[in-house]
Structure 1
């Protein structure tokens, strides 16, 4: 059967001497695998379609399992994401995370739009850490683990400062905070941003400035939520951590 789908390359692997297999997050059919014959050859007309983060229209044949590319048209090469080390690290993190959480042909049109907006945000110069946290929140939401932030998950109260608890699934008020000693007490700035993250569609993200100390707090919170609820070890996250050490 012939398919023609828009998609984003989230993984690219060598296959044999001259070929590549790509995993593509599509707009309508979830994640699909496509074999691109001859993609490793220097003069291959399809080599650019196998590049990570490429957004393109893919035409391929498939009866079951792996598809075979027939034709492709690049819609956005996102080449900048492969040329600047920091952007490569953040784009790789989102791509690997997506590849690991999405199953084959799992319906994910909303996440496709969010990933496309994430990559565009990086190209446009938006704060990569903030864009990354927004995407993480969308993954948590899709997985059913978006934290409750409007009120205490234990008593429904609204006594601040709140302590966020991954185990409890949201914030604990001042009276209930003792129920999770591992929870993180939130500053007012971090709390407001987290509430924004839960509601924000990446396609509507404008310019946002966040103080370094608040960004560190957000990173700690999002790391806690992702580790408990998603719990997938990612090589790309280790690379991001190494970059953070060198930037200090």
Structure 2
């Protein structure tokens, strides 16, 4: 059967001497794999279509399993995301997180729109760490673990200050937090941003500036949520950690 889909390349791997297998997150057909024959050859007309982060239209034949590319058109190459190390690191993290979270053929309409918006925001020069945290929140949404940030998940109190409890799935008031040794403290600024992240659509992200110390706090809070509820070891996240370490030395 012949398919025509809009998709984003979230993984690209060599196959044989001249081919590549790409994993697409598509607007209509979820996550799927497509063989791009001859993509490694210098004069291949499909080489650019097989590059990571490419957003395009893909026409492929598929019965079951792996598809085979027939034609395609690039809608946005996102070449800048492959040329700058920091942008490549964050884009790779978002792509790998998507690939590892979604199953083959699983519906990914929400994530498609959010990933598309996130990659565009990276290319536009918006804060890559903030973009990655917003995308992590959308991953938590899709996985069914969106944290409750409006009131205490234990007693429903709407009176702060709150602490974040990844295991409880949201915030705890000061009284309930006494019974959770792993509940994480939050400054007022970090709490307001976490609350904003939990409901913000990446397509509506404007200019945002966050203090470095608040960004470090946000990273710790989001890491707690992701480790408890997603719990996937990612090479791209390890690289991001290494990159952050050297930037502070």
Could you list the structure 1 runs, at least 4 aligned residues long, displaced by more than 4 angstroms after superposition. Answer: none
Report if the CA contact (8 A) 1:161-1:185 is conserved.
Answer: no
What do you get for the CA RMSD once the two structures are aligned?
A: 0.6
Secondary structure, aligned partner of 1:24: strand
Asked if residue 138 in structure 1 is aligned to residue 106 in structure 2, the reply is no
Q: Give the Cα separation in 1 of the matches to 2:174 and 2:45.
A: 61
Q: Give the Cα separation in 1 of the matches to 2:100 and 2:112.
A: 14
TM-superposed CA distance for 1:159, in Å, is: 2.9
Asked if residue 200 in structure 1 is aligned to residue 200 in structure 2, the reply is yes
Partner of 2:187: 187
TM-superposed CA distance for 1:232, in Å, is: 0.5
1:67-98 CA distance string (max 9 Å, x none):
00000100000000000000000000000000
Q: Give the Cα separation in 2 of the matches to 1:79 and 1:32.
A: 22
Report if the CA contact (8 A) 1:152-1:170 is conserved.
Answer: yes
Please report the TM-score for the alignment, with normalisation by the length of structure 2: 0.99
Please report the TM-score for the alignment, with normalisation by the length of structure 1: 0.99
Partner of 1:28: 28
Q: Give the Cα separation in 2 of the matches to 1:25 and 1:2.
A: 17
Partner of 2:39: 39
TM-superposed CA distance for 1:142, in Å, is: 0.8
TM-superposed CA distance for 1:106, in Å, is: 0.7
Partner of 2:127: 127
1:28-82 CA distance string (max 9 Å, x none):
0000100000000011000001100000000000011000000010000000000
Partner of 1:226: 226
Paired positions, count: 248
- Where does structure 2 lack aligned partners over 5 or more consecutive residues? none
TM-superposed CA distance for 1:158, in Å, is: 2.4
Partner of 1:113: 113
Partner of 2:68: 68
